Structure 1
Amino acid sequence: MSNLIINVAIHDLERGEDGFRVKSGNDHLAVTPTTQRVVDELYELYSRRASKSHGKFSTADDAAPTENHLRDYLDQRTNFADLTDKLMGTLKHQAGLRNAAQGGHVFFAHFSRDSRQFLLVAILNDKLSAALTTSYDVADVQHLDMDGFRFAGRINLTGWAANEERYIGFLKGKGAVSEYFMAFLGCDNTVQVRQDTTDLVQALKDYADDQGLVGEARDEFLGRAKAICDRASRSHEEIEFESLANELAPREPQALLSVLTDPERKLNDQFVPDRRALNSLVKFKGKTAQWSVEFERDALSGGKVRYDVHENTLTLLDLPDDLAAQLRKELMRDA
């Protein structure tokens, strides 16, 4: 799936002894094969990164004006050059408030993908490498360190317009590092632990489907996932997707990690799981006005519970003696 570039710009945020300053670069990069490759690569690299957080624009009075600048641009009251100039001013201000902030080449890309529009912002640095000259000498060359970026965020403009709950994503990093870029984006990432856990559970089930896990293999995988997440919940430790993938799928963790970090899922990384929401990994439950039922996943795969898809009926086998006695007594009374 290709990214259709609408606008691209790049400026520099330089850090000196007296603080940060903005150096204007190119506010309207031509869309060349190289530009396309950079946008495509940044999108893929960002998508594969673990440790992302998601949220929406903050309504706090002291929130950064990023939302307003972006709205003016989308409403065509300003152009892309004006937008990136204003965003660089916001970035400079937020960087000056935090010791962990760093400078670099600030890359802005407005593009569409699969009928949805996005704004991607990434801070890149140069990397020294070597190249072979035409005279077969080795020379130093500088190039963009595409793999090494630490600061990046993506705003789903279509999701924002549709009032989705989460349309901003950014790399969390550690400590004040993430706070700096989150503040620049004007993002509120208040964690909804129950919903985050429910979304994680669904992602794990989808992965099991993708891997073709059925029966005991599926029960074993989801059971281990429940045990790992439950352990973190009991000890009040945050779940980290990379660690979870390495422990849960040690032979091929990247396959699981790609599901967990898929930007379209908007999964928050690093949160303490809600134990109640984890139960659906290993249990089925439901109720009507007349009855409720709950049973373990392995009861279904082991034949102790049978579900007839066509009749939409559930049969429970090996009822406990006390329940069977109560039912027999009730039926005899009715007779």
Structure 2
Amino acid sequence: MPVLHSAIHKIDKKPDGTPAVLFLGGAEQVESQARDDLMHQFNESYNGTAGKGWGFFHAESGAFPLSGWLGKYLAGVGDFLKFSTIAVEHLVRLMEESNLTTGGHALFCHYQQGLTEYLIIALVQETEAVTMTEELSLLTIKRLDLDHIRLAARINLSEWKGNPQSKQYISYIKGKQGRRINEYFRDFIGSQEGIDGPSETRTLLKAFSDFVESEDLPEESAREKTHALVSYSMAQAKLGEPITLDELSGLIDEDRPKSFYDFIKAKDYGLSETLPPDKKTLNKFRRFTGRAEGLSISFEAHLLGDKIKFNPADGTLTMRGLPTQLTEQLKRATA
């Protein structure tokens, strides 16, 4: 993960209502193991943070100027430090206008992962830690709190420039610190909501369930395909990369690599070719399946306790909300 450019500024904002004080970094962060370790740890924490939004830039304007400054930097007009300085000064103005009390270290990093370039912008807080000196004495120090990132966004620069019609080249942490804080930071980035990650992931899982049912797969085969889908999707989430339908289809069925992809397109689920995986939704997805003496049962784990209740004492399942087609068949059979 080569770091191309990075800069850190500090915003001192106290809760007593006094104006924020900005301490500008005088130069970019020099190349060092500490800098690279910082960005590696940040990315791991960011990728593992649940509750992200996905979007794209508003048209450049006085209200949303960051995309214009970023475009000029990428075009070679001004250096990275100048871009980060203009941006953080704008962030402080928004902070004052919103009367918010969240300061911190403003981190800007332009890096490359594989063939893709990204820009990270984050407001990172400090926390205290205890270390040991060479004299074996305990010492309290301050460190950047990368375990609890609250305000951060990552822009896929390659996607933005290569596919300007995309609606998911910006990801940002929604967080739990309050709607006003989230909205002010999103306005600073200039991002509008594009693809709903949890909704897209739920639609993908629904399409997969329908696919498994339509294929009438043996229990073991259904389990293997479910494992392939969840493993791939979770791996992409860990990397901070989107799910690619074509790639996923090939993993689900190596003998017929286009079968799931063609099923999705034929049924018109409205899924994008790539979609952001939502870890929380994926964690809930698991299928219970079983066959015996002409009986075949298969359902998603999240239905257990809601539409489906299991009584371990007598080994029975109670189901609510049966499919309409099945209900009609049963009515005709018992008439």
- TM-score normalised over the length of structure 2: 0.61
Q: What amino acid is aligned across from residue 189 of structure 2 in structure 1?
A: L
| Residue equivalent to 2:184 | 180
Cα deviation, 1:175-233, whole Å, max 9, x if unaligned, reads 1121021011011115x56x9634443368789x9xxxx7447879999xxxxxxxxxx
Q: Which runs of 5+ in 2 are unaligned?
A: 212-216, 245-259, 268-288, 297-328, 330-335
State the one-letter code of the partner of 1:265.
P
1:124 and 2:104 correspond: no
The 3-state SS of whatever aligns with 1:82 is helix
State how far apart, in whole Å, the 1-side matches of 2:186 and 2:47 are: 17
User: Which residue number corresponds to residue 11 of structure 2?
Assistant: 13
Alignment of 1:141 with 2:141, yes or no, is yes
Task: Report the 3-state secondary structure (helix = DSSP H, G, I; strand = E; otherwise coil) of the residue aligned with 2:241.
Answer: helix
CA deviation profile, 1:138-170 (whole Å, cap 9, x unmatched): 221111111122111101111110212221111
CA contact (8 A) 1:48 1:258 kept: no
The DSSP-based 3-state class of the residue aligned with 2:20 is: strand
The answer on whether the counterparts of 2:57 and 2:192 sit within 8 Å (CA) in structure 1 is yes
Residues 24-103 of structure 1: matches in 2 within 5 Å?
A: 24-59=24-59, 61=61, 63-100=63-100, 102-103=102-103
Aligned positions, number: 245
Q: For each residue in 1:91-110, what CA deviation from the matched residue of structure 2 results, as whole angstroms up to 9, or x when unmatched?
A: 11221232445110111110
In structure 2, the residue matched to 1:166 is 168
Cα 1:139/1:261, change in 2 over 3 Å: closer
* Amino acid in the other structure paired with 2:120: L
| 1:206–1:114 distance in 2 versus 1, CA, 3 Å | farther
* Cα distance between partner residues in 1 of 2:122 and 2:53: 15
Alpha-carbon distance in 1 for matches of 2:181, 2:235: 24
Q: CA deviation at 1:78?
A: 0.8
Q: Check conservation: 1:8, 1:27, Cα contact below 8 A.
A: no
Structure 2 counterpart of 1:277: none
CA deviation vs aligned residue, 1:14-60 (integer Å, no higher than 9, x gap): 11433223211243111111111111111111111111101111127
Which consecutive unaligned segments of at least 5 residues does structure 1 have? 224-248, 268-279, 288-297, 305-319, 321-335
Provide closer, same or farther for how the CA distance between residues 34 and 165 of structure 1 changes in structure 2, counting only shifts above 3 A. same
Distance in 2 of aligned mates of 1:217 and 1:94: 56
Following superposition of structure 1 onto structure 2, how do residues 150-165 of structure 1 map, counting pairs within 5 Å? Answer: 150-162=150-162, 163=164, 164-165=166-167
- Partners of 1:138 and 1:258 in 2: how far apart? 39
Tell me if structure 2 keeps the 8 A contact 1:111–1:119: yes
- Tell me, yes or no, if the aligned pair for 1:12 and 1:23 is still in contact at 8 Å: yes
Q: Is the 8 A contact 2:47 2:237 kept in 1?
A: no
1:197–1:61 distance in 2 versus 1, CA, 3 Å: same
Distance 1:79 1:34 in 2: 22
User: What letter corresponds to residue 39 of structure 2 in structure 1?
Assistant: V
Work out the CA distance in 1 between the residues paired with 2:208 and 2:45: 22
Q: Secondary structure at the match of 1:19?
A: coil
* In 2, Cα distance between equivalents of 1:24 and 1:102: 17
Contact 1:14 1:104 in 2 (8 A): yes
* Residue aligned with 1:29, SS: coil
Instruction: Specify the SS of the correspondent of 1:59.
Output: coil
Change (3 A) 1:61 1:86: closer
Q: Secondary structure at the match of 1:112?
A: strand
Which of 173, 193, 199 aligns to 1:197? It is 199
Distance 2:41 2:153 in 1: 14
Q: Deviations over 1:270-313 (max 9, x none)?
A: xxxxxxxxxx9xx98958xxxxxxxxxx9xxx999xxxxxxxxx
Equivalent in the alignment of 2:302: none
Gap change, CA 1:285 and 1:170, over 3 Å in 2: closer
AA aligned opposite 2:170: I
Taking the aligned partners of 1:32 and 1:206, their CA distance within structure 2 comes to: 45
Distance 2:264 2:134 in 1: 68
**What is the alpha-carbon distance in structure 2 between the residues aligned to residue 30 and residue 19 of structure 1?**
30
Aligned-partner SS, 2:13: strand
Q: Supply the distance in 1 between the matched residues of 2:265 and 2:84 (Cα, whole angstroms).
A: 51
Q: Structure 1 residues 303 and 188 mapped into 2: Cα distance closer, same or farther (>3 Å)?
A: same
Pair 1:135–1:52, CA change in 2 (3 A): same
Tell me if structure 2 keeps the 8 A contact 1:11–1:27: no
Percent sequence identity is 21
